[in-house]
Amino acid sequence: MTADPGTLAALALLLPAASFLLLAVAFPLRRSGRAAGLVSVLCSAGALAAALGAWARQTPEGMTRIVYEWIPQEAGSLATVGVLADADSTIMLVLVALVSFLVQVYSLGYLDAEPRPALGRYYTYQSLFAFSMMGVVLAPGFLQLFIFWELVGLCSYLLIGYWYERPEAARAAVKAFWITKAGDVGLLIGIVLLWYRAGTFDFLEIYDLVRAGQLSVAGLGLVTFCLYLGAMGKSAQFPLHVWLPDAMEGPTPVSALIHAATMVTAGVYLLRRTIWLFALTPDVLQLIGWIGAFTALLAAVLACVQSDIKRVLAYSTVSQLGYMMTAMGAGFAAAGFLHLLTHGVFKALLFLGAGAVIHAVGSNDIYHMGGLRRAMPQTHIVFVVGTLSLAGIPLFGGFYSKEEILGAVWSGGLVWPFWMLVLAAFLTAFYMFRVVFIAFWGERHAGGHGAAHGHEGGHLHDAPAVMSVPLWILAALSVGIGIYFVRHHGEPEFTAPGWLTPLAVGVAVGGIVLAWLTYQARVVSADDLARAFAPIRRAALARFWLDDFFEGLYRGVLLGLSRLAGWVDRYLVDGLVNVFSAWTLTWGDRLRRIQSGLPQDYVYGLAVGLLLLLIWVQWPR
């Protein structure tokens, strides 16, 4: 077996598939719980090793393409499957494999109280998810991308609704599925339209067409917009972002994996993969940029009023996804992709850290926590590392990617989005440190242990090794990426203005200071702040009424449509059939009278037939 990146990537892809098949078929293995977990973890480790190998062997310009014909056609094949390993896909593969592996290890500790068959089911879904996400990453063409895209959505549904006996979880899973499906319809339409124009699904072939100028630009905006809709759904852009906060009903490791690092980044990844196509339609790119910036700001505002720690992180994810999309919209996909990678690491870290806290306290509410800095020092340190990275403080990975994005957006000429992003950066630092100060600092709040998610009471100690080691690994990575960028600051594709770095740092520090003043030092009253921004606060607590809007839309449009369809069926379709049957009966009755039994009447018939024959024969032609 040759050790080229493509083969290793294929191996990374197939190991989780093998794990899934094994666990799906051999149900005694699955029902045994921990054994299933070990199988899945082992395959995940193997996939990680293969992904690292593929990445290590990958050169920045090189590309390996392994493609098998799936649906044949006269000239070439209609659809192919395979892997496309280049610089982007291998690094993304590493991210997916790494976070997947760490989460699976972490889950062994987090879900230790689960009944065994349920745990087996969990790991089956995890394996399937890893396979699907890697399929998206390695897809050489739109068709395979779409198939695995849908599979990823399915896994999201399965994993969000893992505790399906809880009605909120079931509802959240369905909501996630519905909303992303709405975007996926757009994606499908876009893929079909693109195929209609280009004649192929393959990325490389379309890229060649674009470079040779053979793809007509007229009307291409519709195609790219439809493709963007798919990204909008999966990557939670406004207005299709409403599923992500609800998706927190799933277990925290699932949130860390799917709703921080991998599935929601599929949209950004798609854009990165096809940015050369979007470059042909600058209007759509502008739109993407604006929507991205607006999403970033909106989600940041919403995060400021949340009291559920996971919800804060969920809105934070939406906000950061908005950042990535804005960079894509500005035309500098590399900056957005870099932020995807760093964000994947520190957001997963934050979620897993939150999971450790939830596991210990037994509740998601930050007002039920407090003073955890003393009770759980390790978790506190890694959480603060993640928060600093998210807020954009130098030396941490998040700072560099955020600065890149701000520079890219400024250079791309999107001025208003730029200032929206800056304000969002301020708010990001503010709300994240709000969480830190309320949950980790200060005193223990009353109303401590709620019975949430099936965990009994609080055992306030640091997380066990199986949970804390992944945390330390991710924390080390966050810092390590930061230091890497200090050493190897590559040439950016744009020139950032000189005042950008001080602005970014200043904004972040300002947010931290405000949070400290409000929640720690109590110099600024939180209530005064709430009163000052009362209308926004009220709107934010009602989630800007978007959920109600969607519900109303569903009720109105969908149910109205079904009522209309019912009416049409009852009165038009049935009516038509009834009319036909009534006609048949009436005319049958009337025609019956021809059979009078009298032969002379039959002679009439003969005579009429003869006349008709004569007319027909003589009819002028």
Residues forming the site for other proteins (CB under 8 A): 592, 594-600, 603-604, 607-608, 610-611, 614-615, 617-618
Cα separation, 445 vs 517, in Å, equals 19
Min separation Cβ 188 and other proteins, Å: 59
Residue 256 tokens, joined: 């860390």
Cβ atoms of 4 and 86 within 8 Å: the answer is: no
Please report, for residues 123, 279, 394, 486, the alpha-carbon distance to residue 401 in angstroms, rounded to integers and kept in the order given. Answer: 33, 22, 11, 12
Positive or negative torsion for Cα 453, 457, 461, 466: negative
| φ/ψ (deg, to 5) at 172 | -65, -40
Amino acid at 382: V
Cα separation, 200 vs 438, in Å, equals 54
Min separation Cβ 560 and other proteins, Å: 51
Residue 109 tokens, joined: 């500790």
Residue 488 or 593 having the CB closest to other proteins: 593
Residue 567 or 604 having the CB closest to other proteins: 604
| CB-based contacts of 498, cutoff 8 Å, min separation 6 | none
Min separation Cβ 594 and other proteins, Å: 8
CB atoms within 10 A of CB 304: 20
**SS percent in the chain: helix, strand, coil, step 5:** 75, 5, 20
Residue 59 or 600 having the CB closest to other proteins: 600
Min separation Cβ 580 and other proteins, Å: 23
Min separation Cβ 616 and other proteins, Å: 11
Residue 523 or 617 having the CB closest to other proteins: 617
Cα separation, 569 vs 562, in Å, equals 10
- DSSP annotation of 299 reads H
Min separation Cβ 595 and other proteins, Å: 3
Residue of 395, 403, 401 lying closest to 499 (CA atoms): 403
- DSSP annotation of 308 reads B
The SS3 assignment for 586 reads helix
Residue 526 or 594 having the CB closest to other proteins: 594
The pairs formed by 303-308 with CB atoms below 8 angstroms and a separation of 24 or more are: 303/427, 303/428, 303/431, 304/427, 304/430, 304/431, 304/434, 304/540, 305/537, 305/540, 305/541, 306/431, 307/365, 307/366, 307/367, 308/248, 308/364, 308/365, 308/366
Min separation Cβ 596 and other proteins, Å: 6
Residue 571 or 604 having the CB closest to other proteins: 604
Min separation Cβ 586 and other proteins, Å: 16
Min separation Cβ 582 and other proteins, Å: 21
